A and B are shown apart, each in its own frame.
Chain A
Amino acid sequence: MRTATALVLLALLLLAAVVVAAGVGPYRIAPPDVAAAMLRRILGRPAEGPVDTVLFSIRLPRVLAAALVGAALAAAGAAYQSLFRNPLVSPDILGVSTGAGLGAVLGILLGLPVAAVQLLGFAGGLLTVATVAGLARALRGGGDVLVLVLAGIVIGALAGASISLAKVLADPYDQLPAITFWLLGSLSGVKAGDVAATLPAVLAGLAPLVLYRWRIGVLSLGDDEARALGVDVARLRLVVIGAATLATSAVVAISGVIGWVGLMVPHMARLLVGPRFDRLLPASVLLGAAFMVAVDTLARSAARIEIPLGVLTALIGGPVFVVLLARGRRRAAA
Chain B
Amino acid sequence: MSALAAENLAVGHGAARVASGIDLALEPGSVTCLLGPNGVGKTTLFRTLLGLLPPQAGRVLLGGEDIARLSRAAIARRLAYVPQAHAGAFAHTVLDLAVMGRTATLGAFASPGRADLAAARDALAEMGIAHLAERDATRLSGGQLQLALIARALAQKAGVIVMDEPTASLDLGNRIRVLDVVRRLADGGLAVLVSTHEPEQAFAVADRAAVIEAGGRFEAGPVTPLLTAERLSRLYSVEVVVEATPSGRRVVGRPARPR
B57 within 8 A of A: no
* Cβ contacts under 8 Å, A211 to chain B: 108-109
A232 an interface residue at 8 Å Cβ cutoff?
yes
Cβ 8 A contact of B100, one of A82, A218, A270: A218
Q: Looking at B51, B71, B80, B89, which has the most chain A CB atoms within 10 Å of its CB?
A: B89
Q: Return chain A residues, CB-CB under 8 Å to B71.
A: 232
**Most B Cβ at <10 Å: residue of A220, A231, A275:** A275
> Across the interface, do A232 and B72 meet the contact criterion of CB distance under 8 Å?
yes
Contact of A224 among B52, B88, B112 (CB under 8 A): B52
Q: Which residues of A sit under 8 angstroms from B251, Cβ to Cβ?
A: none
Partner of B83, one of A225, A270, A278: A225
Q: Are the CB atoms of A224 and B91 closer together than 8 Å?
A: no
Instruction: Identify the closest chain A residue to B149 (Cβ).
Output: A225
CB closest chain-B residue, reference A229: B103
Flag whether B106 is at the interface (Cβ < 8 A): yes
CB contacts (< 8 Å) of B112 on chain A: these are: 214
Interface size on B, residues (CB 8 A): 32
CB-contacts of B84-119 with A (<8 A): 88-93, 96, 100-101, 103-104, 106, 108-112
Chain B CB within 10 A, most for which of A215, A220, A228, A233: A228
Contact with A along B142-165 (1 / 0, CB 8 A): 000000000000001000000000
Given that A86-B89, A275-B91 are known contacts, is A227 also in contact with B72, CB under 8 Å in the complex? yes
Number of A-B pairs whose CB atoms are under 8 Å?
Answer: 77
Q: Which residue of A lies closest to B96 (CB)?
A: A276
CB distance from B95 to the nearest CB of A (A): 10
Contact with B along A266-301 (1 / 0, CB 8 A): 000010001110100000000000000000000000
Residues of the B chain whose Cβ atoms lie less than 8 Å from the Cβ of A222: 88
Q: How far is the CB of A222 from chain B (nearest CB, A)?
A: 8
List residues of A whose CB falls within 8 A of some B CB: 82, 85-87, 211-215, 217-218, 220-222, 224-225, 227-233, 270, 274-276, 278
Q: Enumerate chain B interface residues (CB-CB to A < 8 A).
A: 47, 50-52, 71-73, 75-77, 79-81, 83, 88-93, 96, 100-101, 103-104, 106, 108-112, 156
- 8 shortest A-B CB distances, which residue pairs? A230-B104, A230-B76, A275-B90, A228-B81, A230-B73, A211-B109, A85-B89, A214-B111
